[in-house]
Amino acid sequence: MKVQTLYGPVQDDLVFVERAIDQIREVDLPPLALMLENVLAGGGKRVRPALALLAGTFGVYDLERLVFLAASIELLHTATLVHDDVIDNAATRRGRPTANFLYNNAVSVMIGDFLFAHAADLAARVGSVRVVQLFSRTLMRIVTGELDQDTGAFDASKRISDYLARIGGKTASLFGTACEGGAIAAGAPEEYVERLRDYGFNLGMTFQIVDDILDFSGDEAVMGKPAGSDLMQGTLTLPSLLLMEDAPGDNVVTRLFAARRNKAQRLQDALDAVRSSDVLTRSQAFADEYTRRALAAIAPLPDTPAKRTLIELPAALLTRES
């Protein structure tokens, strides 16, 4: 799918979401305005807000309400990234300086808090208590997933089931909320709400697994970060977990985690081991399975341009380069 038509019937409406996001920069404090400009300048694929709009087509497509929802979803996502970068002490994201690199951790935390608050305000403007409750529960799931990742750093006892539960909370839950929230805001039938939620969740699982594959196989210049960044942070993702299952006990990952020095060489050993094995192909099979589940969830929905876009979207995410 071409970028210009990636989101089908809602592609043109994303401009209204961008305008809603841009309004957050209109603050009276000039330093804050500059900080928000830097944080929001990276843009992104806008896949989550697009999903909210696409889901909204299965009910009464009230663009104003849906734009509030879609913008809140994107700002919630952005806020979590700002806080993630503080926790990881990351200097760049997608090739751009992070907030904590440009300023400091304390300021970055407050920027993230400001984004969270604005996202909650936008969610409230949808005018649905159910949407606000969904927003709150999703934020709790994201934070729980992040806490699980951070408290489990360098823990070689983690298993694939732990990983799937973590990315289900940290990543897939927001995809599911985008679809569920869009359907709720549009007053779609309850069956549609549930099916779209399941579609979004499984698509989010696909998205994160592909992201974790790219951490080993992607072009560093395109990705905007060094290969193996997750492993260096002590985060076990699907490829490394599969590799560890194949060689339990003493292996390149446990040696990396235990290393006091020569960590760069230990990381390179782990990268070489992953790339020379079949674990990336097996990880792709996991992504394919979650894609199958996503498509099965929406199979009974009426045949519309939005549904056809949802059917085509996973292929674009499976073949992305960043």
**Total residue length of the chain:** 322
Domains, the chain: 10-318 (1.10.600.10)
pLDDT at residue number 4 = 46
Q: Which residues contact 86 (CB under 8 A, 6 or more apart)?
A: 99, 100, 105, 108, 109, 112
Q: What is the mean pLDDT of each run of 10 residues along the chain (322 residues)?
A: 72 96 91 88 87 98 98 95 80 72 85 94 97 97 92 94 96 98 98 98 97 91 83 95 93 92 92 96 97 98 98 91 76
Q: Tell which residue, 170, 290, 274, 154, has the closest CA to residue 214.
A: 274
pLDDT at residue number 224 = 73
Q: Which residues contact 99 (CB under 8 A, 6 or more apart)?
A: 35, 38, 39, 82, 85, 86, 107, 108, 111, 112
Instruction: State the Cα–Cα distance between residues 41 and 146, nearest whole angstrom.
Output: 24
pLDDT at residue number 31 = 87
Tell me the one-letter amino acid at 265: Q
Q: Which residues contact 262 (CB under 8 A, 6 or more apart)?
A: none
